[in-house]
Structure 1
Amino acid sequence: MNTPTLTTHVVAFTPARSLWRSGPLAEVALALHALGEAHPDLLVLDDGSGRVIDLDLRGSADDVLARLAPSAVAEAAPTESAGDADTAGSNAARGRGRPRLGVVPREVTLLPRHWDWLGSQPGGASVVLRRLVEDARRASAEADRARQAVEAAYQAMSTLASHLAGFEEASRALFAHDLAQFTACIAAWPEDLRSHLVRMAQRGLAPADAGT
């Protein structure tokens, strides 16, 4: 899950589920901060993930922005996990000028025959695993995008509309990729909310799905 940044596009809804404002997180946070104690009980959501963003509005505008800015993370030297077949002497094996890949060591549990096969491949286990993962990412990129978009729409809908009539039916239609049925299920919901959720749902539907 990506951490929201100052430029993350967000939406803010009122308790009545009217759209109060949308735009970059920094802009929306400062607008909310400017209202002071008079601000309504708004829900601010990441437009990409559908998740609620909790804003700390204490202090000055600069204080608010400072808390939203992503923390600097020191780059750690890449290491390999102890169970990797090509870990032995990895630092020594890195020749002069060999680029650091920025890899993150985590435990991988495989059967002995898997380790045997990986160890027999050119480049060693880590190189082969990275290549396999990249190939799988490319092959499933479109399906992953659609799945994540539908999950984001459901996350937003659960936060904003779980109390509204038709929520269960709308959820089933969403995961069935039935845009027409989804739109019909939420037809009586507040206009801003309905428009926002339909727009999010459309991100996860292929043209063939949207034609039903």
Structure 2
Amino acid sequence: MIPNPDMDCAVFAGDRLIARGAPRAVLPAMKAASEAGEAVLAFDLATGRTVEFDLRGDLETALGRLPQVLPEAKKGPGRPKLGVTAREVTLLPRHWDWLSSQPGGASATLRKMVETALREAEGPDRIRHAREAAYRFITAMAGDLPNYEEATRMLFAGDRTAFEAAVKDWPEGVRDTALGMAELSGRNAHGR
């Protein structure tokens, strides 16, 4: 994964957390550690995926290769583009009858239904994505550490207490990053 300006990164030299923040902020520490002969890894904290920085050349050259924040598009007069995409939807005749009787018609009703479903799924989806990101991170950084398997099981069980116990002996930066990435409710293994 290539860094983008909005990314929140964590950079490790071995198992030590050496920098955290936007790509422009972490690159100097990453480059210095790499030039000192240390193995460095950077992670996108939102996804748990590794981020590939091009560290060739001096610091200014490496910083110059990072993507820049693009200025917002200038807004002119007129109606904004909504980005609507027309696609075919197959429904039974009774579904079409019901949709056509709704205020605003079929399209507006379907859009409202989709927005409602998206809002209702937001919490569970956010938790699932956070756990998947934490899993990617701990697999890369802690796959050989003690209690890795137990930590993974407790991560997906949502048992914060047991997850904390499983990772307590991990190197500080790895442990703290894993705990920060995991969305855990704090319930025990029996769901209470």
> TM-score with structure 2 length normalisation?
0.76
Alpha-carbon distance in structure 1 between the residues aligned to 2:23 and 2:155: 27
TM-fit CA distance, 1:55: 0.8
Secondary structure at 2:152's aligned position in 1? helix
After the TM superposition, which residues 1-212 of structure 1 pair with which residues of structure 2 at under 5 Å, given as runs? 4-15=3-14, 17-34=15-32, 37-69=35-67, 97-103=78-84, 105=85, 110-113=90-93, 116=96, 120=100, 121-123=102-104, 125-201=106-182, 204-206=183-185
The answer on whether the counterparts of 2:56 and 2:62 sit within 8 Å (CA) in structure 1 is yes
Alpha-carbon distance in structure 1 between the residues aligned to 2:175 and 2:123: 25
Q: Per the alignment, do residues 191 and 101 of structure 1 end up closer, same or farther by CA in structure 2, a change over 3 Å counting? A: same
Q: Per the alignment, do residues 155 and 70 of structure 1 end up closer, same or farther by CA in structure 2, a change over 3 Å counting? A: farther
Q: Per the alignment, do residues 60 and 208 of structure 1 end up closer, same or farther by CA in structure 2, a change over 3 Å counting? A: same
The equivalent residue for 1:93 is none
Task: Give 5+ residue unaligned stretches, structure 2.
Answer: none
The answer on whether the counterparts of 2:3 and 2:53 sit within 8 Å (CA) in structure 1 is no
User: How many percent identity over aligned positions?
Assistant: 38
Count of matched residue pairs = 187
> TM-score with structure 1 length normalisation?
0.70
Secondary structure at 1:136's aligned position in 2? helix
The answer on whether the counterparts of 1:170 and 1:185 sit within 8 Å (CA) in structure 2 is yes
TM-fit CA distance, 1:167: 1.4
Aligned-CA RMSD value? 3.5
Alpha-carbon distance in structure 1 between the residues aligned to 2:97 and 2:146: 55
Q: Residue by residue, what CA displacement relative to the aligned partner does 1:140-170 show, whole Å, maximum 9, x if unpaired?
A: 2222222222122111111111122321111
TM-fit CA distance, 1:30: 3.0
Alpha-carbon distance in structure 1 between the residues aligned to 2:160 and 2:135: 13
Alpha-carbon distance in structure 2 between the residues aligned to 1:208 and 1:175: 12
